[in-house]
Each structure stands twice: as C-alpha cells, then as structure tokens.
Amino acid sequence: MDSLTALTIEKLYGSGDREPAVAPVRVDLNQAQVLALAAAAGQKPPADLRAETAMDFAVSVARGLSHAPRRLDCRFLYDARGSEIFERICEQPEYYLTRTEGAILAAAAGDIARRTGPVTLVELGSGSGIKTQIVLEAYSARHGPVRYTPVDISKSILELAEQEITAKMPHVKVEALHGTYEDAFPLLASYSPCLLLFLGSTVGNLDSSEADRFWEAIAAGLMPGDFCLLGVDINEDPDALHAAYNDGAGYSAAFTRNLFERMNRELGASLNTPSIEHVAAYNPEWRRVEIFARFTSTQSIDISQLGRSFRVGKGEQILTEVSRKFRLNHMVPYLATFGLAAQQIYSDEEKRFAVLLLRRV
C-alpha cells in the first residue's frame, strides 16, 4: 500500500479501555417511518426528508442560548454559504484532514471494494462528495454499476454533488436525500447490503452522548453483514490541530462568523458580525478542538419568530462546534460495543488520520 500502512486489528487493541454503556436512543421516527415503509415496498423515497424552516433554526438558537454554558447546534453552520466556506477550508494547506483522508482512500478503495463485495453506498454528511468519488470509481471498476445515496442537511452542496457525480460518472446512480442523520436512520435497512460512509471525521462533531445515540441508531439500522466506512482524525500534535482550525487565509473564522450572518439573514437578528471573533483551541483534557464565537462588544441576538432577545456580553464566548480527536485503541472497542467490528484499518505514515472498515455483526 505504498506509503500507507494497513494496521492489523490486534495491534490496535491496547489497554482494552471501554467507554461506558450506551444511552437509550430517542429518535422521532414518524415521517421517516412512513418513508421506510415506502422504501421497503420498493417505492423510491422522495429526495426531501426535511423541509427546514427558519423556525427550526430559531428554536435551536433559542435553546442553545438558554443553555449554560451557551452553545449552538453545529448542524446550522452548513447553509449554502457555510458549505461553500467549508469547501475552501478543506483546500487550505493547514487543513490536513481532507488531503490525508483522500490519500488513504486512493490507496485503500480497491481493497475496500474487494472486501465488501457489491453493495449500495450510503453516505451521511456527504458534503461535496469529492473524496467519495475515489471510492465510487473503485466500486464501479470492480463491480460494475453502483448505486449511491448521499444524505446531507445542506441542500445546495447535496445538489452540487449529485450533479457533478452524475455528469462525471454515468455508471453511478445517485439518489440524494436531503435531511438529517436521524431522518435517514430508519431507511438504512432498505439499502442492505450496503456500505455506510461517514467521512471527514464528522463523527468528531458529536459529543460523547450524541455519539452514543448515533452509533446505537446506526447499529439498529444496518443489517448483519452490512459495512460502515468511518474516517477519524487521530492526530495528537497540538500545533497541527491549532493550525488546522485557525487557517491563515481566515476561512475557519469566516465559517464561524457565517452562523451569525445566517441569523441576520434568516432570523432578522441584526448582529454586527465583523465584531464577532473566531476562537479555536485544542483542549487536551477532552481531546477535542473547541470552537467559540467571542463577542468583542455587547450585543443582543433578537429572534423575531419567537419574540425573544438574548443579551450577549462583551468578551462572552459561545460554543459553536467541537471536533473530537480519537485514539484507535479506544475507538475500536467502543464501536464493538455497538456490534460494529473493525475489519481493516487504513492510515497514513504519520498516523494523522485513519479510515476504519467496520462490519455489522
């Protein structure tokens, strides 16, 4: 595998540390259950699983600002503008994640396609799908025509990815679904046999209880013998982490600020956004990069839809996103508690990133 190292599973079981038992899942399945039934009956599910409204955003912001300490749901970072900025972040020299994961996939995709056999590819939080194109090429080279279902909350990037893949890869049948992970969970079984992709270390945006609920739902949705391809950031270097989330060109800062610009656009919040600063720092105790918006002057966030206003003081910081970093000797046994057994782990020489091929037992 050239410069890449395929690690054996045995090597990765270190101390055998296990995370605590999982919390029970509570997912609102009403609309999604109907769609799952339709899918099981052979009907193509509609592309729109969620009609997201400004009211959804308003409620989420009000909840987050009522929380102590204040935090906002990172899902709302990805409107059309946010997705566009995220693509620029991925191109920055400091942001090693995309580049490293892309190289790992380029070296490993053939092996992954061989190990899983012909399957439907389903991807959560698919974004632009640029790295996924490498995997799709390997599947079509080995198995012929491929069925691919990307799922993303950002409609603009989803449409762009669908158009690009359809134009470039006529052998790939794309059936994009606009919605959240939770919207897609009940549909997973209808795609079996499948490979579920979750790339970009997006799993690091979930805190530990969100991750427990996420994996519980994935385990419930996949059928025994289905596969999951998970990309995780395993970088331990605090300087590299700091640089990746504070790029010199300022795209990380623009990404954080866009959440507040979105409040202006969709909630009529009338915030002075240039005075809101991006603060990203690695917290070694929690092994995560924490991203905050710091208000350099006192402002009010008005949410007209709810008739509410929240005062944010000068110097106050609001958590907008976390990006957890992982150790494989914790991650592998943790995933095993959900019935997801690591089959193969692909990594780069510097051990900055890992791609795990998991099998639902």
Ligand X SMILES: C[S@@+](CC[C@H](N)C(=O)[O-])C[C@H]1O[C@@H](n2cnc3c(N)ncnc32)[C@H](O)[C@@H]1O
Least Å from the CB of residue 124 to ligand X: 6
* CB closer to ligand X out of 97 and 303: 97
Backbone angles phi, psi at 282, to 5 degrees: -80, 125
* CB closer to ligand X out of 226 and 233: 233
Cis? peptide before 150, omega within 30° of 0 = no
308 within 8 A of 326, measured Cβ to Cβ? no
Which ranges constitute the DSSP H helices of the chain?
9-12, 30-40, 54-66, 80-91, 96-116, 130-143, 155-168, 181-184, 208-221, 238-244, 251-262, 328-336
Residue owning tokens 């606009």: 178
Q: Which residue minimizes CB distance to ligand X?
A: 200
Q: Using CB under 6 A as the criterion, which residues of the chain lie in contact with ligand X when the complex forms?
A: 75, 78, 83, 86, 90, 98, 125-127, 131, 152-154, 157, 180-181, 199-200, 202
What DSSP element (H or E) covers 271? none
* CB closer to ligand X out of 36 and 49: 49
* CB closer to ligand X out of 98 and 133: 98
Least Å from the CB of residue 42 to ligand X: 25
CA distance 301 to 70: 13
Least Å from the CB of residue 98 to ligand X: 6
Measured CA to CA in angstroms, residue 310 lies from 70, 171, 252, 278, 301 at distances of: 11, 51, 25, 20, 5
* CB closer to ligand X out of 74 and 342: 74
Name the token pair of 257. 């600020």
Q: Which residues contact 275 (CB under 8 A, 6 or more apart)?
A: 295, 296, 297, 299
Sign of CA dihedral 115, 121, 125, 128: positive
Least Å from the CB of residue 74 to ligand X: 7
* CB closer to ligand X out of 29 and 341: 29
Least Å from the CB of residue 175 to ligand X: 16
CA distance 83 to 65: 23
**CB-side neighbour CA atoms (13 Å) of 80:** 6
Least Å from the CB of residue 321 to ligand X: 9
* CB closer to ligand X out of 154 and 273: 154
Least Å from the CB of residue 154 to ligand X: 4
| β-bridge pairing 172-174 and 146-152 | parallel
* CB closer to ligand X out of 180 and 273: 180
* CB closer to ligand X out of 260 and 295: 260
Least Å from the CB of residue 231 to ligand X: 7
Least Å from the CB of residue 87 to ligand X: 8
Q: Label residue 210 left, alpha or beta by phi (over 0 means left) and psi (-120 to 50 means alpha).
A: alpha
